[in-house]
Chain A
Amino acid sequence: GENVEQHPSTLSVQEGDSAVIKCTYSDSASNYFPWYKQELGKRPQLIIDIRSNVGEKKDQRIAVTLNKTAKHFSLHITETQPEDSAVYFCAASRAGQGNLIFGKGTKLSVKP
Chain B
Amino acid sequence: EAEVAQSPRYKITEKSQAVAFWCDPISGHATLYWYRQILGQGPELLVQFQDESVVDDSQLPKDRFSAERLKGVDSTLKIQPAELGDSAMYLCASNPTGTGEGAFFGQGTRLTVV
Binding site for B on A (CB under 8 A): 4, 6, 32, 34, 36, 42-46, 49, 89, 91, 93, 95-105
Query: Do A44 and B91 touch (CB < 8 A)?
Result: yes
For A30, the closest partner residue in chain B by CB is B100
Query: Do A98 and B42 touch (CB < 8 A)?
Result: no
Determine which of B43, B44, B100, B106 lies in contact with A97 in the assembled complex, contact meaning CB atoms within 8 Å.
B100
* Bound Cα distance from A99 to B43, whole angstroms: 11
9 intermolecular pairs with C-beta atoms under 8 Å apart: A4-B42, A43-B91, A44-B91, A44-B105, A96-B99, A97-B99, A99-B100, A103-B42, A105-B40
Residues of B within 8 A of A32 (CB): 99-101
Residues of A within 8 A of B103 (CB): 34, 46, 98, 100
Binding site for A on B (CB under 8 A): 4, 31, 33, 40-45, 48, 50, 55-56, 91, 95, 97-108
* Bound Cα distance from A96 to B95, whole angstroms: 14
Interface centre among B33, B42, B55 (most CB of A within 10 A): B42
Residues of B within 8 A of A44 (CB): 43, 91, 105
Residues of B within 8 A of A45 (CB): 105
* Bound Cα distance from A43 to B1, whole angstroms: 15
Residues of A within 8 A of B106 (CB): 43
The smallest beta-carbon distance between B1 and chain A, in angstroms, is 11
* Bound Cα distance from A36 to B44, whole angstroms: 14
Determine which of A46, A98, A103 lies in contact with B99 in the assembled complex, contact meaning CB atoms within 8 Å.
A98
* Bound Cα distance from A36 to B104, whole angstroms: 10
Query: Do A102 and B44 touch (CB < 8 A)?
Result: yes
Determine which of A43, A49, A102, A105 lies in contact with B108 in the assembled complex, contact meaning CB atoms within 8 Å.
A43
Residues of B within 8 A of A97 (CB): 56, 99-100
Query: Do B45 and A99 touch (CB < 8 A)?
Result: yes
Determine which of A4, A91, A98 lies in contact with B98 in the assembled complex, contact meaning CB atoms within 8 Å.
A98
For B100, the closest partner residue in chain A by CB is A93
Residues of A within 8 A of B41 (CB): 104-105
* Bound Cα distance from A32 to B4, whole angstroms: 22
Query: Do B48 and A98 touch (CB < 8 A)?
Result: yes
Query: Do A99 and B42 touch (CB < 8 A)?
Result: no
